[in-house]
Structure formats: structure tokens, C-alpha cells
Amino acid sequence: MKRADRFVETEIDGETVVMELESGDFFSLSGSALSIWQMIDGTRDKPSLVAAVAAEYRVAEAELAPEIDAFVADLKAAKLVEGG
């Protein structure tokens, strides 16, 4: 789940720019990273997230799962999301 109290975001030319408020770090999200960010909405668990991204990009879930895990781990490390 996103930690909305920890960031602000805005869309610029088809990208979403997210700023973590405490550190001031910026993250520019586009393509699959943006899709994943948008799908982290509090209604999906990890399997549902992987399935949704795999369906959107027509890629095998097993192929995407490690990449999604790594991206979500980065978001957690940046304190932008929490939970599983």
C-alpha cells in the first residue's frame, strides 16, 4: 500500500514524478514502472499485481515476478510503500 503521507506526485509529459518528502528524492516513473505504481492501490495483493501487469504487457507472470519484487523493494526502501 502506498504511504500517501510520505510523498507528492505529479504527471509531466506522460511520466509520473514522485518526490519522497523526508529525503527530497525524486523518482521518475514511466512504462511498466508507472503501471505498477498506479496498480499499487490498496486493492491488490502481490499475486494480483503480478497477474495484472503480466496481462497488460502480455508477459509470463513467472518472468515478471522477480522484476516486480525488485521494484517494490525499491519503493519500500524509499518509504513510498509498505506491506506485502
Q: What is the pLDDT of residues 36-70, one digit of tens each?
A: 999 998 899 999 999 999 999 999 999 999 999 99
- Output the pTM of the full model: 0.90
Percentage, residues of the chain above pLDDT 90:
93
> Rounded to an integer, what is the distance from CA 18 to the centroid of its chain?
11
Q: Does 29 score more than 90 pLDDT? A: yes
- In this structure, is the dihedral angle defined by the CA atoms of residues 48, 39, 5 and 70, taken in order, positive or negative? positive
Whether 81 and 1 have beta carbons less than 8 Å apart is answered as yes
CATH class of 4-77: mainly alpha
pLDDT of residue 83: 82
Residue 80 φ/ψ, nearest 5 degrees: -90, -25
Q: Is 9 a residue whose pLDDT tops 90?
A: yes
Within 13-50, strands assigned E span: 15-20, 26-29
Say if CB 81 and CB 72 are below 8 A apart. yes
